[in-house]
Amino acid sequence: MKNKKQILIFNQFITSDEVRVNFEDGESKVLNTVQALSIAEGRGLDLIVINEIAVPPVCKIADKNKFLYEKKQKQTTLLEVQSYSAIVH
């Protein structure tokens, strides 16, 4: 299995003029990237692209390090479940 590394796009590295921001309360809004960055910075968090293929790109306001940690934990759990399934079958 190939190990694909995904590049995390966040804050000033976002090149789109507009982004769709998913907020913690489940609300989703299309905002100017500068506005979205301002909201994230005001909360002391990062603006992270979670789907760059969508138009406009979908972002989440969260702590970058916490986001990466949780993503790694999900991948580890998924790999454990896959290997367990392979052994059982």
Q: Check if the beta carbon of residue 48 is closer than 8 Å to that of residue 62.
A: yes
Could you tell me if residue 4 is inside a domain? no
Could you tell me if residue 58 is inside a domain? yes
What pLDDT, on the 0 to 100 scale, is given for residue 83?
67
Q: What pLDDT digit, counting tens, does each position of 59-77 carry?
A: 999 999 999 999 999 888 8
DSSP 33-86: HHHHHHHHHHTT-EEEEEESSSSSPEEEEE-HHHHHHHHHHHHHHHHHHHHHHH
Could you tell me if residue 82 is inside a domain? yes
Domain span at 19: 11-88
Question: How much is the pTM?
Answer: 0.78
What pLDDT, on the 0 to 100 scale, is given for residue 39?
96
